[in-house]
Amino acid sequence: MDYDIVAKAAIVISMVAVIVAAAAIIMVATGDDSDDRYRIYIGMDADATQSQMDELESYMKDTITSEYGTGYTMYWADGAYVDDNGDTVQNRTLVVILLDVSSGDADAIADAALDQDGVSSVAKEAYHSFFDISTN
């Protein structure tokens, strides 16, 4: 592992964190809205098929909009974990960001994802964000 690259990456990440923190302070000072947000990480089985991933994505889109009446941001990410044997296992993760949804609804959406074919794990992250939504 090239530790110089790791050190440089850590510096860049730290600088981004400082900028984000400053932006949050400014938003609080100007009275912008704030609320809890949720990010759901849906880990697929290592041997999940493309069809299972497509079905999960379609199911999540339909469920979030029709059953919970809210929007989302969704994207696929590459992930990995270390199994019980110490082996690294690569997998795909569907990341779903939910705005304007209750904690209970976020839990229900995460639970629904876990019941889908090819899904091995689901993690829900709650975070507090500051935002100002503008529309035309």
What is the predicted pLDDT for the residue at 81? 85
Give the tens place of pLDDT for each residue, 118-132.
999 999 998 876 666
Across-strand partners of 33?
131
What is the predicted pLDDT for the residue at 28? 52
Strands 72-82 and 33-44: unpaired
Give the tens place of pLDDT for each residue, 3-47.
677 667 677 677 766 676 655 555 555 444 446 789 999 999 999
Give the tens place of pLDDT for each residue, 45-65.
999 999 999 999 999 999 999
Dihedral sign computed on CA atoms, order 50, 79, 18, 101: positive
pTM of the complete model: 0.69
